[in-house]
Structure 1
Amino acid sequence: MYFSQHLPWWLLFILINGVTLGIGLLDVSVSDLSILYIALINTLIFILFAIWQYVRGRKYTKELMKMDDIDDIESLPLPTTQYQHALQKRLMQVRQSHNMRIDAESVKTEENMDEMTRWIHDMKMPMTMLKLLIDDVEGQKRMKLTNEWQRLEGMLNEMLYMKRLPNIQNDLYIETAELETIIRRSIRKLRTLCMEKDIGFDISLSASSVETDVKWLSFILDQVVANSVKYTENDEISIVSSVVEDAVVLTVEDHGRGIRSEDLPRIFEAGFTSTSDHEDGQSTGMGLYLAGQAAEAMHLGIDVQSEYGSGTRMMLTFTKQNAYHKVKTM
């Protein structure tokens, strides 16, 4: 980089030296040997100056080329040349402008998120009233209205947890959680849909409790169970817990439609629904994404095994003492 940056100076020096030699050779009154000495001395001085400049600014240039972020300016060594001083000053101005824009965007984002949170909480009252009205309806219509109400409540919860996700570390409270209580609460939310689709649950818990955050685990389990219910008809969904190598593994297994092999690596991507089953127009593709993000933040393993046409097995793996539990007990 140094030589390409100073190439015009090298070319200018070669031109000046060439002109000097040319004049000396053409002027018979000037000794050819004297002209040659002058050219050699000029060349030596220029080379020594170039080496001095290169060594002087090498450290700063080397660190500058390693920069990946505008905030890395602070780690740069002190500038040594006028050019480096000017460059450092300009970089500081760019960083200041960048940070001001980031701060402005952060304020806007925070305001938007606060508005969304208020809107979600404001929706809770009409949602509650709507549920009371639905409970007064009889027959098949009540079941259909309840299913739609549950879908609406699920989407509102997705939005609320999406808002909480960036600050999940500050939102976690690790405690001993009873798995059966959380599981039955998730099933209860879907009882109307389960009755309509004739779906039952086989629950067998060898490990009855885990160390985790109840609120976030409930959300993750809601998404996993809802996904199994969605693609199952006239069958049982099994929920089993076991201890494997000092870890509690909670498995939710259904015998529904399953997931295509090409879709498996992408089911935890934001907005992904399916590459082939496009009839799932009601799916947002955000439930499993949020569940995966929350599980990662909680150091909770979440894995999936599936065969298209045979069913799906979702596994949540809890270590006996995760990082948050260690912090809590210090």
Structure 2
Amino acid sequence: MIVSFLRERLSWIMLVAFLHLFISFVAFIDTSIPLVSVLYILFLSFGFFLVFLFFRYKKETEFYRHLKEREKDLDLSTLPKPDSPFEELVAESLRSQSEHLKQDSHQHMQLLEKEKDDLLAWIHEVKTPLTAMKLMVDRMEDEKKRASLTYEWLRIHLLLDQQLHQKRIPFIEKDLYMEETDLEELIYTEIKTLQSWCIQKGIGFDLQLGVKEVLTDAKWLSFILRQLLTNSVKYSRESEIEISSFLSEGQTVLRVKDHGRGIALRDLPRIFDKGFTSTTDHQDHASTGMGLYLARKAADTLHIHIDVTSTLGTGTTFTLTFPKKNEFVRVMSK
């Protein structure tokens, strides 16, 4: 701040220095003027000038120091009180800009909220003909065509569901309802949704649930499992997906293990990144790279830790570690 102040007042300092040198030069060339007396006066004058600079530095930089240390927000209550006309101009400019940004931000939030509501309404409207389409497909006699259409219907259904939850994720905390959730019922419901796809690919499920209930939000846990199971079924062929639950150090652990193609070691740290798709099969245009990202976002809100281990060509294991009940209640009550 000292350097900035001296640079700001450089013209004043140079003017005072020039005047002192000019007076000294005049006293030097004019023998009628006592040079020693003039130099003494200039010395005192320069001392007073230094004291003046010191006090002006303390006074003039206080306002700008507060501005520099101020948090980068639009809260005008933290704005320092101006002490000069120029400082008042700066403060007024900040006030007007803050008000403009607040209004602009409010308008954008309203537009985003309207866009979200319109999209959610559209998704719900699409679900009606989609349900009717499923009933029509189920009545088809040609099993091969029925299986193919059911698979395509399921893809559309899962993409719509993913989009629906993607729009709800920013407001997930307002949508939570914590209760004792029946894991077995929840898992069977998700398996039933993927049943036609699994039959088509020859995939079965092996359930070993040592823990049958867990404290969580059933709807969002269903969404998380849906993304993991969809991922497992998509990249597996004629094998069993093992789903198990057990207690470990007082915490419920739910494990989903498949025997699919696995994930490359270089991809593992990035699979939960938004929009990331496999570098091994990068030409797979059907992948959106959003499923695992949304699953991680939802799990973080529920304080569920997701871990993944995988070996290329062998399979992938997703592990969900739920918080202890007391720990969960303590965190949620903050």
Deviation of 1:87 after TM superposition, in Å, equals 1.9
Structure 1 residues 119-138: aligned runs within 5 Å:
119-137=122-140, 138=142
Deviation of 1:14 after TM superposition, in Å, equals 1.9
Deviation of 1:253 after TM superposition, in Å, equals 0.6
**Residue identity opposite 2:33 in structure 1:** V
Deviation of 1:186 after TM superposition, in Å, equals 1.1
Residue 187 (structure 1) aligns with = 191
Return the match for 1:255 from 237, 247, 259: 259
Q: 1:262 to 1:160 in 2, by over 3 A?
A: same
CA distance in 1 between partners of 2:283 and 2:99 (Å): 49
CA distance in 1 between partners of 2:27 and 2:234 (Å): 93
Residue 151 (structure 2) aligns with = 147
Residue 25 (structure 1) aligns with = 28
**Residue identity opposite 1:297 in structure 2:** T
Return the match for 1:273 from 249, 273, 277: 277
Return the match for 1:317 from 317, 321, 332: 321
Contact 2:305 / 2:320 at 8 angstroms: preserved in 1?
yes
RMSD: 2.0
Deviation of 1:20 after TM superposition, in Å, equals 2.4
Helix, strand or coil: the match of 1:192?
A: helix
Q: 1:56 to 1:280 in 2, by over 3 A?
A: same
Is 1:204 paired with 2:187? no
Between stretches 244-253 and 80-89, larger displacement belongs to: 80-89
Return the match for 2:223 from 197, 219, 225: 219
Return the match for 1:158 from 147, 151, 162: 162
**Residue identity opposite 1:135 in structure 2:** D
Deviation of 1:328 after TM superposition, in Å, equals 7.7
Return the match for 2:181 from 177, 182, 190: 177
Deviation of 1:192 after TM superposition, in Å, equals 0.8
Helix, strand or coil: the match of 1:152?
A: helix
Question: How many pairs does the alignment contain?
Answer: 330
Return the match for 2:293 from 289, 306, 316: 289
Is 1:6 paired with 2:9? yes
Q: TM-score, normalised by structure 1?
A: 0.94
Deviation of 1:139 after TM superposition, in Å, equals 1.0
**Residue identity opposite 2:6 in structure 1:** F
Return the match for 1:36 from 14, 39, 60: 39
Helix, strand or coil: the match of 1:241?
A: strand
**Residue identity opposite 2:98 in structure 1:** R
CA distance in 1 between partners of 2:306 and 2:57 (Å): 53
Q: 1:73 to 1:35 in 2, by over 3 A?
A: farther
CA distance in 1 between partners of 2:60 and 2:35 (Å): 38
Deviation of 1:13 after TM superposition, in Å, equals 2.3
Contact 1:232 / 1:255 at 8 angstroms: preserved in 2?
yes
Between stretches 140-149 and 271-280, larger displacement belongs to: 271-280
Structure 1 residues 56-71: aligned runs within 5 Å:
56-71=59-74
Instruction: Please give the per-residue CA displacement for 1:116-138, whole angstroms capped at 9, x wherever unaligned.
Output: 11111111111111111111222
Helix, strand or coil: the match of 2:74?
A: helix
**Residue identity opposite 1:21 in structure 2:** S
Deviation of 1:62 after TM superposition, in Å, equals 2.9
CA distance in 2 between partners of 1:73 and 1:48 (Å): 34
Q: 1:142 to 1:63 in 2, by over 3 A?
A: same
In structure 1, the gaps of 5 or more residues are: none
Percent identity of paired positions between Structure 1 and Structure 2: 38
Contact 1:253 / 1:313 at 8 angstroms: preserved in 2?
yes
Runs of 4 or more above 4 Å deviation: 326-330
Q: 1:277 to 1:245 in 2, by over 3 A?
A: same
Helix, strand or coil: the match of 1:316?
A: strand
Residue 86 (structure 1) aligns with = 89
Deviation of 1:266 after TM superposition, in Å, equals 1.1
Between stretches 34-43 and 183-192, larger displacement belongs to: 34-43
Residue 228 (structure 1) aligns with = 232
Helix, strand or coil: the match of 1:56?
A: helix
Helix, strand or coil: the match of 1:71?
A: coil
**Residue identity opposite 1:191 in structure 2:** Q
Instruction: Please give the per-residue CA displacement for 1:76-121, whole angstroms capped at 9, x wherever unaligned.
Output: 4433344333222211111111111111111111111111111111
Residue 115 (structure 2) aligns with = 112
Helix, strand or coil: the match of 2:214?
A: strand
Between stretches 91-100 and 211-220, larger displacement belongs to: 91-100
Instruction: Please give the per-residue CA displacement for 1:250-291, whole angstroms capped at 9, x wherever unaligned.
Output: 010111111111111111111111223113210101111111
